[in-house]
Amino acid sequence: MEDNAASLAAPSLVASPSVTPAHVPRELVVADFDFFAINVPDGDATKAWRAATEHLPPIFWTNQNGGHWVATRGADVRAVQLDHEHFSMSEFALPRGRRGMKSPPIDIDPPAHFAYRAVISPAFSPKAVAGLEQTSRTVIREVIDQLAPRGECEFVEDVSHVLPITVFLGMMGLPQEDAAMLLPLSRINTQAKDLAIAQKNRRDMADYMWRGVEDRRANPKDDVLTMVVNGQVDGRKLTDEELRGMSTLLLAGGLDTVASMMGHIARFLATSPPHLEQLVNDRKLIPRAIDELIRRNALVNTTRLVREDIDFHGVHLRKDDMIQIPNCFYGLDPSLVDDPFKVDFHRKPPVPSAAFGAGPHTCPGAALARMEIRVWLEEWLDRIPKFQIKPGTTPWVTVGGTNAMRELWLSWPAASF
């Protein structure tokens, strides 16, 4: 295991006039706050986010990673997600320019956004997701068949990096043997702090997908990649640049977020036997439990580009500023959620969450993610109803574009297998 980054348990309110923009009030500057360096000692990433920011202004400025604002109130997170007129998705990751290419539809603002989104939406329709359920179930059953007799597993490598990527590669019509090569690219895509490394990694992902695009142009198939290659926006074919960016976006989304969310959910259940027992005894609770656990463990840390000067909830934001909105803060806001760090599978719906975004840029793959998590839980709890963090191990989580579960050892009684 690599060493985690330095802790930021108590960033100091220190002004750095030489690098702080003139319009930023010095009392709002937390010069040394670096979200890449948030330490997660026990694997609970959202608790670590709260610990790193709870004594800071609700909206503050950091000079790290090119300089940006951070919003930590739920109302502010949701307001930014919904207000595309003032907050653009054209830059949604830090540091600025991280992707090095356009990736429609995610970084295209309305109204143009909707035409690009329509190209990929059929792949995530209710009918399409339902059609993937049996494949997902078959995959996870095969995984559990191999793991159950062992009495232990490293959950990330053995489970959460198997189900989503197998389903994704099948959807795209790409070789399953490419998974081992793609998974490291997925990790670097969200976790690399260095801009040059992040951009090179994105190019490597794009080059991989472009080979698939060229193949589908010559040999169309009944798969999502062919659908994208044949997609149209405003009555025209997608340009090469648009195809390159869109296919790379699908790759990035298909490899990382579901895998990490599965890891965070597994970590929680392994450390809370009463919650685990509830699901084992009442499978009808699983969909509600998924919503609650996604709220509690929301993991994407997106940003927006300020489109024009705006006074936002008492803070003056200037055009071209970047503002980060970690989506966990919406579901953890005590003004929106009673006792937000408590996990309650009977919480009255709807469960407040911004885990998949809100407004026009709501993640199109949300239904697929929920289905994969549900199928995993249903099959796992049938075979492995009791499990824990393997004694002597600690879950390893790093913070970047996502709160990524990097390593999670689980163990369970294997005598009955």
Output the average pLDDT for the chain. Answer: 93
Average pLDDT over residues 32-61: 97
Q: Determine the pLDDT at residue 194.
A: 94
The pLDDT confidence band at residue 99, using thresholds 50, 70 and 90, is confident
The pLDDT confidence band at residue 410, using thresholds 50, 70 and 90, is very high
Q: Is the pLDDT of residue 68 over 80?
A: yes
Average pLDDT over residues 359-387: 95
Q: Determine the pLDDT at residue 417.
A: 59
Q: Is the pLDDT of residue 16 over 50?
A: no
> Could you read off the pLDDT of 143-180 as tens digits, one per residue?
999 999 999 999 999 999 999 999 999 999 999 999 99
Q: Determine the pLDDT at residue 159.
A: 97
> Could you read off the pLDDT of 205-223 as tens digits, one per residue?
999 999 999 999 999 999 9
Q: Is the pLDDT of residue 18 over 60?
A: no
The pLDDT confidence band at residue 395, using thresholds 50, 70 and 90, is very high
Average pLDDT over residues 102-121: 95
Average pLDDT over residues 389-412: 97
Q: Determine the pLDDT at residue 6.
A: 33
Q: Determine the pLDDT at residue 7.
A: 34
Domains of the chain, first to last: 26-411 (1.10.630.10)
Q: Determine the pLDDT at residue 182.
A: 93
Average pLDDT over residues 390-414: 96
The pLDDT confidence band at residue 19, using thresholds 50, 70 and 90, is confident
Q: Is the pLDDT of residue 5 over 50?
A: no
Least confident of 4-8, 50-54, 93-97, 228-232: 4-8
Percent of the chain residues topping a pLDDT of 90: 88
Q: Determine the pLDDT at residue 415.
A: 66
Q: Determine the pLDDT at residue 274.
A: 98
> Could you read off the pLDDT of 238-285 as tens digits, one per residue?
999 999 999 999 998 878 889 999 999 999 999 999 999 999 999 999
Average pLDDT over residues 384-395: 98
216, exposed or middle or buried, with CB in 10 Å at 0-12, 13-18, 19+?
Answer: buried
